[in-house]
Amino acid sequence: MKLLPLAGLLALLCAPFAYAQDAADPTPAQRSTPLPKIVAPIPTEEITITSSRLRTVVRNFVDVATMPSPLNAVSRWKTKLCPRTTGMSPSFTTFVDKRIRDIALQIGAPVNMDETCAPNLQIVFTERPQEMLDTIRTKLPALLGYHYAAQAKELATVEHPIQAWYATGTRDRMGQLIPDNPYGFATTTVEGSRIKTGFRAEFLAVTVVVDLVKVENQEIGAIADHAAMLALSQAKAFERCRPVPSITNMFLGCDDDIAVTLTKYDAAYLKALYAIVDRDTPAQLLKGDIAYLMRGYLSDAP
């Protein structure tokens, strides 16, 4: 399998979105459903955690919430993200797009405010999520992210009501951006050091799929915040509950009260992720920086 050049991947980003729209056309009832009146600023909730336990809680949160890239870096948006929501009535899709842009601006992520921009973040509402992923797997496997061909079917299996797939890239010291691919990389310029990898990771495209059947009784505000958390950060695991209230615990049957919007822990993590210095160090060191900043943001929260 040949390495897919960056230009080739970028040219494909809009291709699955037309299919996603067809596969997720809203029913007549959905088209007529009015947008719920939801006010969803990033909130803070009261919870008491001692300073000694906070360090452990935060580090555990960061560890679960951060998936190292194929070259052991931490991926995030470096190009301006452009969300496009499909599969629901215009009032709902507009709400989700705006909510994701608002959250991204609040946590310091780069955002394209032009509503006509070419999307690199797609949020798809569909009653047939597996059918859509099967088509992506066979026609546009690059959108599934880093994987070998034998892993494609398992990777493209829908297991959660809201799930995300990440196409990531790696930038070398000379600024060359290469899509992550297990079959080889183009010639890159790196440093030979244990504390400097020479690589920086970033998102090229993110696809978030929402199963309309499984989220039927959820508010659109909670769904939008859950999608935003997945769109702005690449989690290490979907199955593990966060040790503190988090929007990502929404469908996991966790013991704590189910959050219906981003919690202060979610917001602090995202702010820390986008505030860390952009340097070519291994993921474990970067996660330490994220945890340090996250503790500071939590200490400053009301």
Domain boundaries, the chain: 6-36+59-300
Question: pLDDT tens digits, residue range 240-262?
Answer: 777 788 998 888 877 666 788 99
Assess contact for 168 and 143: CB atoms under 8 A: no
| Spacing of C-alpha 204 from chain mean position | 11
Question: pLDDT tens digits, residue range 149-206?
Answer: 888 898 899 999 999 999 998 887 777 778 888 776 555 555 555 566 667 889 999 9
Q: What is the mean pLDDT of residues 107-134?
A: 96
Tell which phi-psi region holds residue 229, choosing left (phi > 0), alpha (psi between -120 and 50) or beta. Answer: alpha
Percent of the chain whose predicted confidence (pLDDT) is above 70:
76
- 250: Cβ–Cβ under 8 A, 6 or more apart, which residues? 162, 218, 222, 226, 258, 259, 260
- pTM attached to this predicted model: 0.80
User: Where is 145: in which H helix or E strand?
Assistant: none
